[in-house]
Amino acid sequence: MDKIEVIEKIRNTKIIPVIRANSTDKAQIIIKALIEGGIDVLEITMTIPNAVELIARLSDEYKNTAIVIGAGTVLDAATAQKCVRAGAKFIVSPILNVETVSFCNQCKITVMPGALTPTEIFTAREAGADIVKVFPVSAMGGASYIKAVKTVFPHIEIVPTGGVNLENAVDYIKAGALAVGMGSELTKDKESTITTNAGNLRNKINRK
């Protein structure tokens, strides 16, 4: 799957679960529940123990499926390189690290650095970001902020994260976001609840 296909996959799915767990076993339980709920784009964060090995395992397990595995909380190019070698199809960061963006562009891997203010968002795009992660979006007023940003930057694809929940996710999509990033609001419950919430949210977004 090339960069354009990955971006289109994110556009169609509209939900990127930000997966954090204190073990790979717990992470895999969350991942299984999300997939059963119809989520096929997954962000495996570097805060999970042995995250790179988990990405490699998942990339191999789902290599002939529609599931897209990416890496999150990537803070430098060296870590990005490890994740790409493990099979990650996109790289996400809460910050803008120019070396990471440059590396991903050289490898033709979708890259989503973090930014918050209009200047930071524009700078990230100019640095070569395919998508800009706006984080933490709740600190800037939520969906109304995304709507305002998209008014002046209609050409920049944005994924708000940090404060997105089951109740307001649709508001961000309506405001112009490419997709939303969701952490514990989507992944904190037991397996069956995660699956139900994921399925319900997908249906809700598709009906918007």
Output phi, psi for 45, to 5 deg: -80, 155
Q: Is 43 an active-site residue?
A: yes
Which of 14, 133, 157, 185 is catalytic? The answer is 133
The tokens describing 166, both together, are 């089951």
pLDDT at residue 1 above 90? no
Note if 133 is an active site residue: yes
Top-level CATH class of 3-197?
alpha beta
Residue entry with tokens 């992660």: 133
What are the pLDDT digits (tens) for 81-134?
999 999 999 999 999 999 999 999 999 999 999 999 999 999 999 999 999 999
Digit-coded pLDDT (tens) for 58-83: 999 999 999 999 999 999 999 999 99
Mean pLDDT of the chain: 97
Over residues 19-38, mean pLDDT: 97
Contact residues for 146 (Cβ-Cβ < 8 A; gap 6+) = 134, 137, 158, 160, 172, 175, 176, 177
pLDDT for 13: 95
**Helix, strand or coil, per DSSP, at residue 60:** helix
Q: Answer left, alpha or beta for residue 21, where phi above 0 means left and psi between -120 and 50 means alpha.
A: beta
CB 19 within 8 A of CB 182: no
Model pTM?
Answer: 0.96
Exactly one of 9, 14, 43, 185 is catalytic; name it: 43
